[in-house]
Structure 1
Amino acid sequence: MIRVPPGRAGRQWLRHRVDTARNAAELLKRKLLILEQRHHHLWTRARECRESWELAARQARQWVDRAVLTGGLRGLRLSAPRESAEVTLTWDTVMGTRYPVATSCAPPRTPPGATVLTGAVWTEANVAHRRALEAAVDCAAAAEALRIVELEIATTRRRVRALDHRWIPGLEATLSELDASLEELERAEHLTRHWASGQDPSR
């Protein structure tokens, strides 16, 4: 039910609401188009980042297997970092929707006095794991950006459908009913005035 002010003020009120709703629907459709274009770019980036991460993870696994053969599992445990990596995200905005677009990753720092295994294999394993870490961070950010934009697309589509299929038709139907009612009232007032003046109401 739409609560409309009585009389002719209600007609003006409804016309304004119809125009506002139509403008809102057009703005949302333009937003949806831009979001869908950005979604295609983000989907491609997320796929590429995942492929890069999977490749980097396989290479890191290969190098750690070689390192274990060289220094054993004890050597691997001793060389494992005790701190977490530090990740920084760079954000962008499209049509009011904020999402991550770039990352930087600082690997865990080696604390003073920690055991650091040296040798070509351990060096390559360390480099491979840093690459895998960076690729994983990129993959996570790309996946999150895609999720955020997909959620905004779904929300915008629901709003467009609500306007196009419920709100605007409801306002237009109410306006038509009010127009018919006011026309009937105006005809009745016209007849009443002529009868009161003694004139022929058909004139």
Structure 2
Amino acid sequence: MSVHGREVPTGRAGRLRLRRSLATALRGADLLERKARLLLDRECAERRVAEEAGFVWRNRLAEADSWLVRGVMLSGERALAEAVPEGQASVEVRWDTLMGVRHPAAMAWAGPARSPAEPTPPNTALAHAETAYRAAVRAAAEHAAHQAAADLLAAEAERTRQRVRALRRRRIPRLQSELAAVELALEEAEHEEAVRRRWAAAQGAG
């Protein structure tokens, strides 16, 4: 049996197969829509956190730059270079998985440690600048982690919506059309069989 140029199952077995396929497609579309909603909800939450971290980052950076200018004016650039700690900041990202999407979930940041032998900032302005720069770096790392998480979740949500559209617009209508054709054919066959039986019964009675 051909429907729209496609060979489809026939008979009662074919109808059962199509009904199962249609039920599976409908259930799959519902589950994918639920997945997309969950992903979009988490994406929105991640973007809100990223936006807040970005606001803190920009403010702390501007504050740090302002203190830096004052500190350099007071003690000179040489004092600034000598007061920079030798250690480096470290960032550790913890990853999580939501609906199959692996994404950054938390961030641990540690500023550069200053050994007892290292000089401290020679004036209060440079000390404030160091504190503000540390806060700015931490906020920048948080912004990057949450922004990356939002982007990954958004990409998977879009792929999921595309799969839903393919099911809702193509596969499900096709299965419904094929099932309707099979059911019509079965109905006609059953009607013809009933007519033959009545004819045979009438012939026997005659």
State the TM-score, normalized to the length of structure 1.
0.80
Contact kept? 2:105, 2:146, Cα under 8 Å: yes
**Residue number in structure 1 paired with 2:153:** 149
Residue 173 of structure 1 aligns to a residue whose secondary structure is: helix
Tell me, in whole angstroms, the C-alpha distance in 2 between the residues paired with 1:35 and 1:142: 14
Listed as ranges, the gaps of 5+ residues in structure 1 are: none
Distance 1:112 1:193 in 2: 105
Judge which range, 107-116 or 157-166, deviates more.
Answer: 107-116
Q: Distance in 2 between matches of 1:96 and 1:29?
A: 15
CA distance change for structure 1 residues 66 and 192 in 2, over 3 Å: closer, same or farther? same
Q: Distance in 2 between matches of 1:88 and 1:118?
A: 31
1:68 partnered with 2:78: no
Is the contact between residue 79 and residue 122 of structure 2 (CA under 8 Å) also seen in structure 1? no
Superposition deviation, residue 189 in structure 1: 4.5
- Taking the aligned partners of 1:77 and 1:184, their CA distance within structure 2 comes to 92
Task: Give, as a single letter, the amino acid of the residue that structure 1 aligns with 2:42.
Answer: R
Is 1:7 equivalent to 2:21 in the alignment? Answer: no
Q: Which amino acid aligns with 2:186?
A: L
1:34 equivalent to 2:2? Answer: no
- Number of residues of Structure 1 aligned to a counterpart in Structure 2: 199
State how far apart, in whole Å, the 1-side matches of 2:58 and 2:181 are: 63
TM-score, with normalisation over the residues of structure 2?
0.79
Residue deviations 1:130-165, cap 9 Å, x none? 111111111111211221222222122212211111
Counterpart AA for 1:66:
R
Task: Show the counterpart of 1:126.
Answer: 130
* Residue-by-residue CA offset, 1:158-203 (whole Å, 9 max, x unaligned): 12211111111111011111222233333444555666x5745xxx
Q: Which runs of 5+ in 2 are unaligned?
A: none
129-138 or 65-74, larger mean C-alpha shift: 65-74
1:14-163 equivalences under 5 Å are 14-80=18-84, 84-110=88-114, 117-163=121-167
Percent identical residues: 36
SS of equivalent residue, structure 1 residue 118: coil
